Copies of this chain bind each other. A is one copy, B any other.
Amino acid sequence: MSEGHMFDVHFDAVGVAVGRMRNEVTLTASTPFQSVNVLATDEGPFQGGEGTAPTPLEFFLTGLVGCLMTQIRVFARKMRVDVTDLKVHCRAEWAARKGELGPYEGFPKGFTVDVELASGAPAEDVARLIEASKRACFVEQTLAVANTVTHRLRINEGDWTDA
Inter-subunit contact B75/A102 (CB<8 Å): yes
Instruction: Give the complex CA separation of A13 and B91 in angstroms.
Output: 6
Question: Could you say which of A74, A96, A119 has the most chain B C-beta atoms within 10 Å of its C-beta?
Answer: A96
Inter-subunit contact B114/A128 (CB<8 Å): no
Inter-subunit contact B119/A27 (CB<8 Å): no
Inter-subunit contact B58/A8 (CB<8 Å): no
Question: Could you say which of A2, A13, A64 has the most chain B C-beta atoms within 10 Å of its C-beta?
Answer: A13
Taking CB atoms, residues of chain B closer than 8 Å to A56 are 62-67, 69-70, 139
Question: Could you say which of A93, A106, A135 has the most chain B C-beta atoms within 10 Å of its C-beta?
Answer: A106
Inter-subunit contact A70/B95 (CB<8 Å): no
Inter-subunit contact A136/B70 (CB<8 Å): no
Q: Identify 16 residue pairs between A and B in the complex whose beta-carbon atoms are under 8 Å apart, listed by A's number.
A: A9-B96, A10-B91, A11-B91, A15-B66, A41-B70, A57-B67, A57-B138, A57-B139, A59-B60, A60-B63, A99-B132, A106-B135, A112-B151, A112-B152, A115-B163, A131-B163
